[in-house]
Amino acid sequence: MNTPINQLSLITTHNQIHFCANVHNLSIMQKISMIVTNPSYSAFKQKTSKQGKHYVCKSSQTYEVFELLQNFPGISQMFLEHKFFKLSQSVKALHKAYSNLGYKLDRPINPLYLPNEQYIKDIFPIVDSFEKELKKDSTTRIAMADRLQRLELINESKKENARVMKKLFKTQQRFNLNIFTYIFDMNKCESRDKLFIEQSLTQQISKMIDNFHENYQLEILELFFRVQRDLSNNYVLTVYSATERECKPLSMKDFIPLRNENYLIIAPNTNIILSTHEVDYPMDIQDVEGTNEKTWKAIFGEILFKYNYVYYESEYVSPKFIYKKRDSNS
């Protein structure tokens, strides 16, 4: 049986081949921030007994927060100050607040000790200050504008994709979605002119996609793609191309100029190592032999969720998906 969770796991598998620990850390930071800045959240609650007033931990979320923070590596200064990596204000605020917490405590807070009221008494002033610092930052104009801008980017991307996919499901009912993921590993690239390399790479990507689209213009119903840079110094190209159910799976490998089978050619001494992953997924409006429209919307939402805490945007790379129009004569 096709469930949304199973389908989501299947479709998003292609995004896991370049799992990035730094991005995972940012997702944890975003989760912590969302918990702590919820207006109804409080790490500890005041309790009155015969011995007087004292604080206790009754929230499972408090245990979760400090479990996540126990092995928290923080963010490198390079990413915090990077011009093109757009880290959310909530992530930056948590990094700052937790750094301050570290200066005040001689060791990380241990969730195993939270049932101990004396332990809570000892850490309460510091934890309370940490919590209030995050809540206060979340209501600043900068933080609110940042959240709104990210929400608009996500919603705009969802709306554009929903329009394209709705048309496909309506006209085709059943079709294939070819998903290509290409990882451009830049760690052995010797050139110091990073912007020139980025410009050259994106130009080469555009040529690859144009050639692929032109060669298969009779087969391709819709095509959209996105380029992003991850926190492991890779550029990641993801291409989605829809074809009729009877069409054989497509491949873009023939349109990628490689040297020695896995080095991309864009300029001398660039040494960009390419990893490829191409899969073909069935789509079905009835959700019988493929993913239906509702499930796809959930999947696409998961793909975009990362924008809540990080994305990459420069003169040559955009977080937005680019849609190739089909030739009306095809």
Strands 322-324 and 310-312: unpaired
Query: Which residue has tokens 């931990």?
Result: 57
Percent of the chain with pLDDT over 90: 70
CA distances from 133 to 67, 76, 210 (A): 20, 21, 50
pLDDT in tens, 6-29: 444 444 444 443 445 678 889 999
H helical segments located in the chain: 4-11, 21-36, 60-70, 77-81, 89-104, 117-138, 141-172, 194-215, 293-305
124 Cβ contact list (under 8 Å, min separation 6): 44, 55
φ and ψ at residue 203, rounded to 5 degrees = -65, -40
Residue count (the chain): 330
Distance from C-alpha of 252 to C-alpha of 214, rounded to nearest angstrom = 12
Check residue 21 and give its pLDDT: 60
In this prediction, residues 290-298 reach a mean pLDDT of: 96
Check residue 83 and give its pLDDT: 92
pLDDT in tens, 160-188: 999 999 999 999 999 999 999 999 998 87
Are 303 and 296 in contact, with CB atoms under 8 Å apart?
no
Residue 180 β-bridge partners: 239, 278
User: Is the pLDDT assigned to residue 273 strictly greater than 50?
Assistant: yes
Residue 241 β-bridge partners: 178, 223
Check residue 87 and give its pLDDT: 95
Instruction: Please tell me which residue, 284 or 19, carries the higher pLDDT value.
Output: 284
Check residue 108 and give its pLDDT: 85
In this prediction, residues 256-282 reach a mean pLDDT of: 85
| Structural element, H or E, at residue 281 | strand 272-284
Percent of the chain with pLDDT over 70: 91
User: Is the pLDDT assigned to residue 314 strictly greater than 50?
Assistant: yes
In this prediction, residues 310-316 reach a mean pLDDT of: 96
In this prediction, residues 120-142 reach a mean pLDDT of: 95
| Identity at 128, one-letter amino acid code | D
In this prediction, residues 220-243 reach a mean pLDDT of: 95
User: Is the pLDDT assigned to residue 259 strictly greater than 50?
Assistant: yes
pTM of the prediction? 0.88
Spatial CA neighbour of 108 closest among 73, 75, 66, 76? 66
Check residue 270 and give its pLDDT: 77
Check residue 327 and give its pLDDT: 62
What's the whole-number average pLDDT of the chain?
88
214 pLDDT band, cuts 50/70/90, is very high
281 Cβ contact list (under 8 Å, min separation 6): 10, 11, 176, 177, 178, 179, 290, 291
H helical segments located in 173-292: 194-215
User: Is the pLDDT assigned to residue 287 strictly greater than 70?
Assistant: yes
Distance from C-alpha of 133 to C-alpha of 93, rounded to nearest angstrom = 8
pLDDT in tens, 40-85: 999 999 988 777 788 999 899 999 999 998 877 778 888 888 999 9
